[in-house]
Structure 1
Amino acid sequence: MANTAPTDRLSALTLALGALGWVLEDGERAERFLSLTGLDPDALRAGLDDPSILAAPLDFLANHEPDLIRAAEALAVTPEELVAARQELSQ
């Protein structure tokens, strides 16, 4: 059986970047995200290659179902796929 972990990891990273973009495109939502995560724009820029930083927008969405559903719709994925990406990046 082939190991699909690298593909899963790449998919998770791609979804996380999409989720981050979606979170940041709305000013109020972006402010809430930064406030709740304790991140700042410099930390986000510096951490774009860090899975724990990229997991932050997925955590943010998973903890607020209305945003999770809207983000999933905007990214053309299911909410479950966003949650699975979060789990993949948290490993």
Structure 2
Amino acid sequence: MKLISADYAETLALKALGWLVGNEELLPVFMGSTGADLGDLRSRASDPAFLASVLDFLTMDDAWVVAFCDAESLPYDYPMQARAALGGGDVHWT
């Protein structure tokens, strides 16, 4: 398993954001679930916490991961690796 750097994770998250923006069905779902508006997409695109939320959203559904990774020619485990590299948001159910 390849380990992704934080810099690459941010780049991958920006690609995921771009993919979401181009997806007329998923963009409104993302914006509704995060409370983001179009201004936030532009102004927060360099915010690691916002980029983490993009990856959190993307990785909620395997079909979204597959569609994004196929569009970007990426291995299917990269979004989860990128999310882990951005840190924060770890949930332990114990």
* Range into which the TM-score falls when normalised by the shorter chain: 0.7 to 0.9
- SS of the aligned residue for 2:5 comes to helix
Aligned residues: 86
Greater helix percent: which structure? 1
Q: Structure 1 stretches of 5 or more lacking a match?
A: 1-6
> How high is the sequence identity, in percent, across the aligned residues?
33
Q: Residue 90 of structure 1: CA displacement?
A: 2.5
Query: Structure 1 length as normaliser, TM-score?
Result: 0.85
Query: Structure 2 length as normaliser, TM-score?
Result: 0.82
Deviations 1:45-87 (A, max 9, x none): 1111110111122111110110111101111112211111011
Runs of 4+ more than 4 Å apart: none
Partner of 2:87: 90
Q: Counterparts in 2 of 1:1-80, with a 5 A limit?
A: 8-80=5-77
Superposed CA RMSD: 1.7
